[in-house]
Structure 1
């Protein structure tokens, strides 16, 4: 009888111990799963956040693309404006008022020609002035190549262009001939202009040495020294 009760007590204790171990084991698995669960859950919002960020980046890219398109449009407009200016019609003698002045300093061997755009619209003054000083010499005064500008000279309304013209080597020379007015043509433009020479006595020119520079926006003494 005692043995049977003793066995029953031992069996009950063993069962209790086994049950405790089983519960402990189950609790461990539950704890691990909970740790893994929040980690997975925390990673899921992060992924969603990444998706939103990517969407924002994509939208920004679209905005950037739109901005670039707008910028290109403006650039095209600027470029078109530049092309339009570069393709302005050739200035004619009716588009510009041409005057002549002695270059500062004796012996006044050069003239400065000024062509001011009085047409009210843009025009391109091309090449160099075609000048004939003397009835006895019908050829045009030759141009000096080093004075040629790198780009077309487009004159906005009211803007001037300049050209330097060599008359002689200075001093008294029997080859020099007096000139009170001379004829001038513009390259690519119609019509002839008669330009009055400066000074009461006019100017003295030497056909052996005369030369002219190209039209430029500014009188470039460095490039036009001849």
Structure 2
């Protein structure tokens, strides 16, 4: 990865045009060929970017330094006009091991897979960590009617988790062997906003009881 902090302007030319005036910015140039331009706000979201495959051409004409980032398939272009480079470094990050879930979340997945009938009588497990092009769905199972169901598991369920499951469902429903695929968003605690978004997307929310899945009786059992 190459990290560059520079005073630059950025022009995007493609299906639409956009211009970022001259200012100090962070430029990330990753090994996969992607280029993204960041300001010191907006959290992780870049101001502009170019996804791979793309090529970068650096040139200087009459003292004006430009970096042209051209997409290999669409021909869309980012043109960075560099006024001053404040920092320029490259780093080898190697192969990323990927996101690992915390202990409770991973254990929830294991327990729910083992006791899949928690979701309904007659339900069966297809497999855990069912791979898609954008990552693994926590659990793929079938309901009592044989319909495919994708389950995303979180310790605390928020809007990001619902969005993640939505993306998985879009891909899974393109597979004629599985479609139609329903979604279940399962967590120990689900935020109200996440429930509203899930309902709007046709996704069912299920609150998981960690102790019950582990077979631990409640300290204060009730008659009803």
Q: TM-score if structure 2 supplies the norm length?
A: 0.19
Higher strand share: 2
Higher helix share: 1
Q: TM-score if structure 1 supplies the norm length?
A: 0.19
Tell which has more relative contact order, 1 or 2 (C-alpha 8 A, sep 6+). Answer: 1
Larger of the two Rg values belongs to structure: 1
